[in-house]
């Protein structure tokens, strides 16, 4: 058989087995392969996919996409919803087909989510150098475009000879299924090697199970952590995505109810507790709630569970102002467990570590004063969100009102998707999550354009979940006009497969997020609006609004579109439109709901900060003033080690 045929058959036989609390979950690791064909993969991988499809369509289902990067986003969305038990393979042509995947690789690696990238490569034999789209570096003949994947991948290999196939895939899948190491796994396949024949040993093509490692915590680490918790007066948990990937949310709830220790969550950690849980403070950090940030400022012990401590989580290291604050970091990845110079790292699976901590803590409970403070701060923040969700009957609604309407129209098990713009921060603060799978905001790479393809990946996973008797979930993508313009073409993929993806498209004619950031940094919203060029001043800031109609754009792709016209009824109509979209038939294709919003109406403040450096010297008064404020915040930045 050819190398490509061996790859396809091998990938069809790989399974993950995940043992959670004594129960085994077995899933196909690679339930399908995406491909955009060009020279490079049209013959090798393309031929193999066609051959197996003809034999039996379930061996390796093939899926299309309109852009390689978007295919990677679909795979990432799928992987996150399946808690890293499954992902897709992506085959590309050489040159631009491969390099289009680079952003997808970076996003997967940054988010610690598995995706298997199979970019084609130039001839291993150099039979007819330079082939179309070959990079050709005069000083290093062995470098190809695909070497650009090395820094972005957690594993990289190139199958330059057919026999290398076995070790390349075995070790690639080792990394793909490793909870601490996972990310983009890239195996570069030269176009000639893909089509070459070799003898493949039977054992390579046998079914194989990859057991997802769930390492237990070291007893001495647990003892020391329990001692630190018992000594703490104002402990706080920061829960990240790792809690969800480890299915540790129920064990976390037990821990919290036993001890009363409150929880602030990162973007990836939304859903670890329902929003109205007594000890859930909601989002923490730069886009956090005032409740979580007030408690964090005084905390003497932070228990980080499954978090990377991104700067949004720590408010750029200004969130923790107690001079004696200590960190216990529970993480399956040592890099995260050792952050902030801690001497109390626990390198372990989050659920297993929590089981042991629950046993080790005895009767520890926070004081009544802290419990009262938590209740008061929660009440204050909930009132703030209620007020922000209130309809104001202005011609153009605030995004807050749109979020309120969307959340009211969605059911508990539905999933909201987002990635970049002003929405992620607003959702982090205000979204009232009711299900551990209900919130999917990609905020490690915060990549404009992830929303629609990522949402499509989630919807694919949700459909598979429902087919197995699981929850029925509608997937609602919330996307700004900027992100939509960057990558909306996967709507065509949803049309082709009649996938019901609901998209709430918020038109505010540019970048509300960066506009507001720019203003706060003294840069006067420069270049953040979509306006016609004013040629006299060479400015895009003051010209006319563009005659762009994104609703018509979506319609032209074969998408059903609901336009919400500006006016007093906007919010009521939007809410109804989402309900109508939810009631539409499951195989009826995507639905875009187009609504205009005022970019100048911000979400309630987090009373927090994010470090974005301001020019130290400037000719602009706005920048000089912003620098004063910056210096003031900067003085509160802690030098936590690591
Ligand atoms: C690929 C990419 N380029 C640039 C950015 C920086 N960036 C973050 S948000 C944003 C604007 C998003 O605009 P839009 O989707 O309209 O959302 P809004 O800010 O209006 O809410 C930009 C340019 C990014 N996150 N991703
Ligand atoms: Mg916008």
User: Given 152, 184, 211, which residue is the final one in a domain?
Assistant: 211
Judge whether residue 642 has pLDDT over 80: no
Residue 511 CA to ligand 2 centre (angstroms) = 4
Residue 360 maps to a domain: yes
Number of domains comprising the chain: 3
Task: Return the closest-CA partner of residue 271 out of 300, 291, 242.
Answer: 242
Judge whether residue 362 has pLDDT over 90: no
The model's pLDDT over 595-641, given as tens digits with 9 standing for 90+, comes to: 999 999 999 999 999 999 999 999 999 999 999 999 999 999 998 87
The CA distance from 118 to 8, in Å, is: 11
Tell me the CA distances in angstroms from 613 to 225, 309, 403, 529, 630, one per residue in order.
36, 20, 30, 22, 8
Residue 580 maps to which CATH number?
A: 3.40.50.970
Say yes or no: 161 and 97 in one domain.
yes
Say yes or no: 23 and 115 in one domain.
yes
Say yes or no: 330 and 410 in one domain.
no
The CA distance from 620 to 95, in Å, is: 44
DSSP string, 92-135: E-STHHHHTTHHHHHHHHHTT--EEEEEEES-SS-TTSSPTT--
Residue 173 maps to a domain: yes
For 262, phi then psi, to 5°, come to -80, 160
The CA distance from 261 to 328, in Å, is: 14
Say yes or no: 367 and 397 in one domain.
no
Residue 537 maps to a domain: no
Provide mean pLDDT across the span 189-197.
98
Say yes or no: 30 and 149 in one domain.
yes
Q: Is the distance from the beta carbon of residue 508 to the nearest atom of ligand 1 less than 6 Å? A: yes
Say yes or no: 137 and 233 in one domain.
no
> Ligand 1, from 102, 111, 396, 421: best to mutate by most atoms within 8 Å of Cβ?
421
Say yes or no: 136 and 242 in one domain.
no
Say yes or no: 180 and 254 in one domain.
no
Task: Return the closest-CA partner of residue 398 out of 417, 433, 423.
Answer: 423
Instruction: Return left, alpha or beta for 392; rule: phi > 0 is left, psi -120 to 50 is alpha, else beta.
Output: alpha
Q: Are 199 and 7 in contact (CB under 8 A)?
A: no
The model's pLDDT over 106-132, given as tens digits with 9 standing for 90+, comes to: 999 999 999 999 999 999 999 889 999
Please report, rounded to a whole number, the percentage of residues in the chain having pLDDT higher than 70: 100
Say yes or no: 351 and 440 in one domain.
no
Task: Return the closest-CA partner of residue 481 out of 459, 461, 510.
Answer: 510
Protein residues within 5 Å, CB atom, of ion ligand 2: 480-482, 508
Say yes or no: 206 and 275 in one domain.
no
According to DSSP, residue 171 is labeled H
Residue 372 maps to which CATH number?
A: 3.40.50.1220
Q: Are 542 and 534 in contact (CB under 8 A)?
A: yes
Residues 6+ apart with CB under 8 A from 174: 155, 210
Q: In what order do the strands lie in the sheet with 23-28?
A: 23-28, 14-20, 208-211
Say yes or no: 188 and 207 in one domain.
yes
pLDDT reported for residue 566:
93
Q: Is the distance from the beta carbon of residue 422 to the nearest atom of ligand 1 less than 6 Å? A: yes
The model's pLDDT over 317-361, given as tens digits with 9 standing for 90+, comes to: 999 999 999 999 999 999 999 999 999 999 999 999 999 999 999
Residue 516 maps to a domain: no
> Ligand 1, from 110, 445, 482, 520: best to mutate by most atoms within 8 Å of Cβ?
482
Residue 602 maps to a domain: no
pLDDT reported for residue 391:
84
Domain encompassing residue 257: 219-381
Say yes or no: 302 and 443 in one domain.
no
Q: Is the distance from the beta carbon of residue 608 to the nearest atom of ligand 1 less than 6 Å? A: no
Mean pLDDT of the chain: 97
């Amino acid at each position: 058989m050819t190398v490509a045929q061996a790859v396809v058959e091998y990938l069809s036989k790989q399974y993950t087995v995940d043992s959670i609390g004594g129960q085994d979950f077995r899933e196909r690791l690679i339930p399908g392969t995406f491909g955009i064909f060009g020279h490079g993969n049209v013959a090798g991988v393309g031929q193999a996919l066609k051959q197996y499809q003809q034999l039996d369509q379930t061996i390796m289902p093939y899926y299309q996409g309109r852009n390689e990067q978007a295919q990677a986003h679909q795979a990432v969305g799928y992987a996150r919803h399946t808690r890293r038990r499954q992902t897709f393979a992506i085959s590309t042509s050489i040159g631009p087909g491969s390099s289009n995947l680079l952003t997808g690789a970076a996003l997967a690696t940054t988010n610690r989510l598995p995706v298997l990238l199979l970019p084609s490569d130039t001839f291993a034999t150099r039979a007819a150098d330079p082939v179309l789209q070959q990079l050709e570096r005069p000083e290093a003949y062995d470098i190809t475009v695909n070497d650009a994947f090395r820094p972005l991948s957690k594993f990289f290999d190139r199958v330059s000879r057919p026999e290398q196939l076995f070790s390349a895939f075995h070790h690639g899948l080792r990394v793909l299924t490793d909870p601490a190491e996972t990310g983009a796994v890239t195996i570069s396949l030269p176009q000639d090697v893909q089509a070459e024949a070799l003898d493949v040993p039977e054992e390579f093509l046998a079914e194989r199970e990859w057991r997802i490692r769930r390492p237990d915590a070291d007893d001495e680490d647990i003892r020391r952590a329990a001692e630190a918790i018992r000594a703490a007066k104002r402990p706080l948990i920061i829960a990240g995505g790792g809690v969800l990937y480890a299915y540790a949310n129920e064990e976390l709830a037990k821990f919290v109810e036993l001890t009363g220790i409150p929880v602030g969550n990162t973007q990836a950690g939304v859903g670890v507790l329902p929003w109205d849980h007594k000890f859930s403070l909601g989002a923490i950090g730069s886009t956090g709630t005032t409740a979580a940030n007030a408690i964090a400022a005084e905390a003497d012990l932070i228990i980080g569970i499954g978090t990377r401590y991104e700067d949004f989580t720590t408010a750029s290291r200004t969130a923790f102002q107690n001079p004696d604050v200590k960190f216990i970091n529970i993480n399956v990845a040592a890099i995260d467990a050792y952050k902030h110079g801690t001497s109390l790292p626990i390198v372990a699976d989050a659920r297993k570590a929590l089981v042991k901590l629950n046993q080790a803590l005895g009767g520890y409970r926070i004081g009544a004063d802290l419990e009262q403070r938590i209740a008061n701060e929660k009440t204050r923040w909930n009132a703030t969100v209620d007020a922000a969700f209130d309809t104001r009957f202005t011609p153009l609604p605030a995004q807050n009102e749109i979020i309120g309407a969307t959340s009211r129209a969605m059911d508990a098990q539905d999933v909201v998707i987002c990635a970049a713009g002003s929405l992620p921060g607003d959702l982090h603060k205000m979204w009232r999550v009711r299900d551990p799978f209900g919130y999917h905001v990609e905020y490690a790479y915060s990549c404009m354009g992830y929303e629609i393809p990522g949402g499509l990946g989630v919807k694919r996973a949700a459909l598979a979940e429902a087919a197995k008797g699981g929850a029925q979930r509608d997937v609602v993508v919330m996307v700004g006009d900027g992100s939509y313009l960057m990558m909306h073409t996967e709507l065509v993929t949803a049309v082709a497969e009649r996938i019901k993806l609901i998209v709430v498209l918020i038109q505010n004619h540019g970048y509300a997020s960066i506009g507001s950031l720019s203003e706060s940094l003294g840069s006067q919203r420069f270049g953040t609006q979509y306006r016609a060029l004013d040629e006299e001043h060479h400015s895009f800031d003051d010209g006319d609004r563009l005659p762009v109609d994104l609703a018509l754009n979506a319609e032209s792709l074969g998408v059903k579109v609901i336009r919400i016209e500006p006016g007093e009824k906007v919010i009521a109509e939007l809410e109804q439109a989402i309900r109508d979209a939810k009631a539409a038939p499951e195989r009826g294709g995507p639905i875009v709901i187009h609504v205009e919003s005022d970019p100048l109406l911000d979400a309630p403040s987090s009373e927090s900060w994010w470090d974005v450096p301001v020019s130290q010297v400037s000719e602009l008064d706005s920048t000089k003033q912003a620098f004063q404020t910056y210096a003031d915040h900067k003085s509160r930045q802690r030098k936590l080690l690591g």
